[in-house]
Amino acid sequence: MKTFKIGGVHPSENKFSAGAPVRRAGLPKQAVFSLYQHIGAPAKPVVAKGDVVKVGTMLAEADGFVSVPVHSSVSGKVSKIDAIVDASGYRRPAIFVDVEGDEWEESIDRTPDLVTLDRHPELTAEEIVSRIKAAGIVGMGGATFPCHVKLTPPKGTKAECVIINAVECEPYLTADHRLMLEKPDEILVGVSLIMKAVGVNKGYIGIENNKPDAIALLTEKAKAYPGIEVVPLRVKYPQGGEKQLIAAVTGREVPAPPALPIHVGAVVQNVGTTFAIYEAVMKNKPLFERVITVTGKDVKNPSNLLARIGTPMAQLVEECGGMPEDTGKVIGGGPMMGKALMNLEVPVCKGSSGLLLLSEKEARRMEPQPCIRCAKCVDACPMGLEPYLLATASALRNWELAEENHITSCIECGSCQYTCPSMRPILDNVRMGKTTVMALIRARNAK
C-alpha cells in the first residue's frame, strides 16, 4: 500500500465520532462573521448596521486576488460591525447578525437531487473558477488558502493531475470521513469540476486505510466517473500534508520553498472543499456551513455537526452534551496541528474542522528532560530536516544556522515533538525560529 517515504509517526487514532452521522447544529441567536477567515487580505464589509440579510447574502467582498468574500449563514439583521476576540486572543473586525427565522436567498438550489457535469456541458473552466471565487471557498482542511488561487496555476506551470485530500490523518477528526460516506456522488462530481477547471483528465482521491468503508464506497461509485481513481494509503501522520500526499500518491517530491505543488504538476484540494465546490457550482450555494467534529474522551456525545459559519463554539459543545467537568484545554482543529482556543465564544470559521476537548490530565505537558541524542525526531521528520538542531539553533537565536538547515521547509506537523522521549518542546522553538527566519528573509528581499 502506498505512503510517503520519509519520516512520519502513527499517533493513536481515537476516532470516537466515526460512527455518528452528520447532523445539523441548531441556529445560533447571534452569528458572528470574522473578516479574517482566510489567508490573504481581509474581506471588506458591504453591509451596514441595520441591513436585513438572508442566508447566502454577501456580507463582505474580496479585497484583492488572494482574498475571498464572506456570506451570511443566517437570516436576520446586521446588529453591528465591531471586533471579536478571536481564538488567539487578538481583536479582529467582524460582522454581527441577529438571527430572525431562516430565510434563504432564492438563487440557492435547495433540492437534494444530484446535478452531474453532463447536465451542464456549457460550463467552462473560467466559469467554474469564477463561481468558486464568488462563493468564497477556501481550503477547508484548516489552511484556509483561497481555493480559486490554487485553481489558477501561475504562468509557466501546467497541472497534470488533481489530488483530493481525503486522508484526515489528524487523530480524533471524522468530519471528512462522514462527508464521504454521506455525499459520495456530490464529492465525485466536485472532483470532475476541479479536473475541468484546471484542464486535466486524471484525478486521485487519497484515503487512509483506517476508513475502509469510505474507500469501498467511493471506489464503487467512481467507476461511473472516468479518470477518477481512489488511492488507499497506509495510515501515517502527516499524510494529509500537501507535500506528503503528493509524494504518497504520485511518488514525486515537491522541492524546497518557494516551489509549490503545481511545480510537480499536482493540484491538491481537501475533500470538504471538493463538496463545497460542488454545492457552489451546481447548486449556487456560497460557503456558509461546514461539517465540524466535536469530540474528546470525556465528551458525552461526540458528533459530526453541520454547523452554520458564525455559530459560537460554546453552542456546539452544548449540543454534544456540554463541557466535561475537568476540561483542561479546548483545541480548534486536531490534536497534532490544532490551536488551543483562548475562549469559547469564538465562532465557527471556514477553516474549523474540529473542536477537541481534552481533560486536564491530557492537556498538561510533561516536564522536558535533556536531549539524549536518540535522533528519533530526525527519523520522524517528514521533510527530512533535523528538528533537534533547528530547535537548538532557534532557542540560541542563531538564525543563520537555522536558515542554513532549511528551517523554512518545516511544515509544523509536530511529529518531532510527538516522538521525543524526553518530552522536549521541539516544535515550539522550531516554529518560533521559522517565523523569525521568514521575517528576516522578507526584510532582506524587500531591500
Partner 1 sequence: MNVILIAVIILGVVGLVSAVMLYAASKKFAVVEDERIGKVAEVLPQANCGGCGYPGCSGFAAACVKAADGGSLEGKLCPVGGQAVMEKVAGILGMAVEKAVPKVAVVRCNGTCANRPRVVEFDGVRSCRVQLLSGTGETACAFGCLGGGDCVSVCQFGAISINPETGIAEVDEKRCTACGACVKACPRKVIELRPKGPMSHRMVVLCVNRDKGAVANKVCKASCIGCGKCVKTCQFEAITLNNNLAYIDPAKCKLCRKCEEACPKGAIHAINFPPRKPKAEKPAVAAAPAQKAAPAVAEEKKEA
Is residue 80 part of the contact set for partner 1 (CB under 8 A)? no
Q: Closer to partner 1 by CB, 46 or 314: give it.
A: 314
User: Are the beta carbons of 207 and 277 closer than 8 angstroms?
Assistant: no
- Least distance to partner 1, CB of residue 372, Å: 19
Residues forming beta bridges with residue 321, ordered by sequence position: none
Binder to partner 1 among 90, 100, 114, 126 (CB under 8 A)?
Answer: 90
Q: For partner 1, which stretch binds (CB under 8 A), given 60-68, 195-203, 334-342, 369-377? A: 334-342
> Minimum Å distance from CB 343 to partner 1?
8
Taking CB under 8 A as the binding criterion, the range among 128-136, 188-196, 218-226, 423-431 that sits at the site for partner 1 is 423-431
Number of residues that bind partner 1 (CB under 8 A): 22
Site map 395..414 versus partner 1, x via CB under 8 A: x-x-----------------
Of 133-192, binders to partner 1 (CB under 8 A) are none
Nearer to partner 1, 17 or 352 (CB): 352
Residue 93 in the binding site for partner 1 (CB under 8 A):
no
The 3 state secondary structure assigned to the chain is CECCCCCCECCCCCCHHHHCCCEECCCCCEEEEECCCCCCCCCEECCCCCCEECECCEEEECCCCCCCCEECCCCEEEEEEEEEECCCCCEEEEEEEEECCCCECCCCCCCCCCCCHHHCCCCCHHHHHHHHHHCCCECCCCCCCEHHHHCCCCCCCCCCEEEEEECCCCCCCCHHHHHHHHCHHHHHHHHHHHHHHHCCCCEEEEEECCCHHHHHHHHHHHCCCCCEEEEEECCCECCCCHHHHHHHHHCCCCCCCCCCHHHHCEEEEEHHHHHHHHHHHHHCCCCCEEEEEEECCCCCCCEEEEEECCCEHHHHHHHCCCCCCCEEEEEECCCCCCEECCCCCCECCCCCCEEEEEEHHHHCCCCCCCCCCCCHHHHHCCCCCCHHHHHHHHHCCCHHHHHHCCHHHCCCCCHHHHHCCCCCCHHHHHHHHHHHHHHHHHHHHHC
Instruction: Choose the binding region for partner 1 from 66-74, 116-124, 185-193, 363-371 (rule: CB under 8 A).
Output: 363-371
Please choose, out of 48-56, 87-95, 124-132, 145-153, the segment that lies near partner 1 by the rule CB under 8 A: 87-95
Q: Kindly tell me which residue out of 211, 283, 308, 431 binds partner 1, with binding defined by CB under 8 A.
A: 431
Please, what is the minimum distance in Å from the beta carbon of residue 36 to partner 1? 14
Stretch touching partner 1 by CB under 8 A, among 39-47, 61-69, 85-93, 202-210: 85-93
Distance CA 66, CA 144 (A): 11
For residue 339, the minimal CB distance to partner 1 (Å) is 6
Can you tell me which of 12, 48, 50, 89 binds partner 1, judged by CB under 8 A?
A: 89
Give the one residue of 55, 87, 264, 280 binding partner 1; rule: CB under 8 A. 87
Q: Residue 365 or 442: which CB sits closer to partner 1? A: 365
- Cell 436567498 -> residue: 105
Residues 6+ apart with CB under 8 A from 405: 385, 386, 389, 390, 393
Name the phi and psi angles at 225, rounded to 5: -115, 110
Alpha-carbon distance of 239 to 248, in angstroms, equals: 8
Question: Do the beta carbons of residue 22 and residue 291 sit within 8 Å?
Answer: yes
| Bridge partners for 97 per DSSP | 31, 78
For partner 1, which stretch binds (CB under 8 A), given 22-30, 98-106, 277-285, 421-429?
A: 421-429
Interface with partner 1, residue 436, by CB under 8 A: yes
Q: Is 91 in the site for partner 1 (CB under 8 A)?
A: yes
432 is a contact residue toward partner 1 (CB under 8 A): yes
- Residue 442 binding partner 1, by CB under 8 A: no
Contact call for residue 365 and partner 1 (CB under 8 A)? yes
Q: Which of 425, 438, 440, 441 binds partner 1 (CB under 8 A)?
A: 425
Among 108, 235, 344, 363, binds partner 1 (CB under 8 A): 363
- When the beta carbons of 10 and 339 are compared against partner 1, the nearer one is 339
Q: Which of 364, 372, 374, 400 binds partner 1 (CB under 8 A)?
A: 364
Q: How far is the CB of 365 from partner 1 (least distance, A)?
A: 5
Q: Is 253 in the site for partner 1 (CB under 8 A)?
A: no
Residues engaged in binding partner 1 (CB under 8 A): 85, 87-91, 339-340, 342-343, 363-365, 395, 397, 425, 428-429, 431-432, 435-436
